[in-house]
Copies of this chain bind each other. A is one copy, B any other.
Amino acid sequence: MSRIGDNQVLVKVIELTEAADPRLADYVRLRDVNLRKSLESVHGLFLAEGEKVIRRALRAGYAPRSLLLTERRRDALADLEGEVDAPLYVLPEPVARSLVGFDLHRGVLGSFHRKPLPAVADVLAGARRVVVLEDIVDHTNVGAIFRSAAGLGVDAVVMAPRCADPLYRRSVKVSMGAVFTLPYTRLDDWFGGLETLRALDFRLLALTPGPDSVTLGAALSGTGPTDRIALMLGTEGDGLSARWSELADTRVRIPMAGRDIDSLNVTAAAAIACHELLRTAHPAN
């Protein structure tokens, strides 16, 4: 039981003191990537970290399996009582550390049920600006791209089958919860999947530093706010596959200016490209 200010809201919590308690199984060894990938896919769960991000997950309609607070932060989510149908575990800091494998500075974790991925056509309905990720392998990069895309007005993200998971803990954290608010889904078919976008009148722009490309600004010149544009981004390092590059309508590049550095990080390129897409929707900027 805990008291909040003058309102005396009482929150029912479950105090646990053993890291090995089976009710805490969702939170075990958060830095063990292989264990986590297996555990999270078997149980259809994902973890969110920090009060702000957890509130975004709840607002976006994700159902919690449980919430976890350290004693120091035990009141952080107290206002959620009655709105959240899930146990709220409170742990002493050392128990939390032993459970997750590091110091839980933010002191607030949530385990959530995943939702089924929507159909590509549903995600694209009404969308004008979308980002298509081929095989981005780094969770940090996936999260950063979602954050930029969401903040800069992109309507949806479509991912190739092998693109890293946006709901992995690191992606969620770096995205600041943008993975909850920005609609996304995965193509079933890498080889032919882009045809779905083409059939819906999306113009496919492949972002690539290659020589046979036009500047993004030139490619977008004359684009109207309601035109449908799909910006394709490829793997860190190698960029888009030959197949996806060839399927694009236009190969585009971000203008560079030397100093022995001839390419941008994929997240920097994505931010610039999303900013340019937003300019076409609101040309005054």
Closest Cβ neighbor of A270 among chain B residues: B268
Q: List residues of A (248-278) whose CB comes within 8 Å of B's CBs.
A: 254-265, 267-272, 275, 278
CB of A144 within 8 A of CB of B265, answer yes
Q: In the complex this chain forms, how many copies of it are found? A: 2
In angstroms, Cα B259 to Cα A56, docked, is 11
In angstroms, Cα B278 to Cα A217, docked, is 13
CB of B178 within 8 A of CB of A268, answer no
Q: Which of A1-9, A19-27, A80-88, A145-153 touches B?
A: A145-153
Contact with B along A169-202 (1 / 0, CB 8 A): 0000010111001100000000000000000000
A267 contacts which chain B residues (CB < 8 A)? 144, 265, 267-268, 271
CB of B264 within 8 A of CB of A278, answer no
CB of B285 within 8 A of CB of A150, answer no
A282 contacts which chain B residues (CB < 8 A)? 255, 257
Across the interface, A268 reaches (CB within 8 A) one of B144, B258, B285, namely B144
Interface extent on A, as a size class?
35 or more
In angstroms, Cα B59 to Cα A224, docked, is 46
In angstroms, Cα B264 to Cα A176, docked, is 10
A217 contacts which chain B residues (CB < 8 A)? 279, 285
Output the least CB separation between A143 and chain B (Å). Answer: 9
CB of A259 within 8 A of CB of B181, answer yes
Closest Cβ neighbor of A60 among chain B residues: B260
In angstroms, Cα B215 to Cα A141, docked, is 26
Closest Cβ neighbor of A180 among chain B residues: B260
CB of B261 within 8 A of CB of A151, answer yes
Closest Cβ neighbor of A263 among chain B residues: B151
Closest Cβ neighbor of A283 among chain B residues: B217
Output the least CB separation between A91 and chain B (Å). Answer: 26
Output the least CB separation between A197 and chain B (Å). Answer: 21
Can you name 18 A-B residue pairings with CB atoms under 8 Å?
Answer: A56-B260, A144-B265, A144-B268, A150-B261, A151-B259, A151-B263, A153-B259, A177-B261, A178-B259, A181-B259, A215-B285, A217-B279, A257-B278, A267-B271, A268-B268, A268-B270, A271-B272, A272-B272
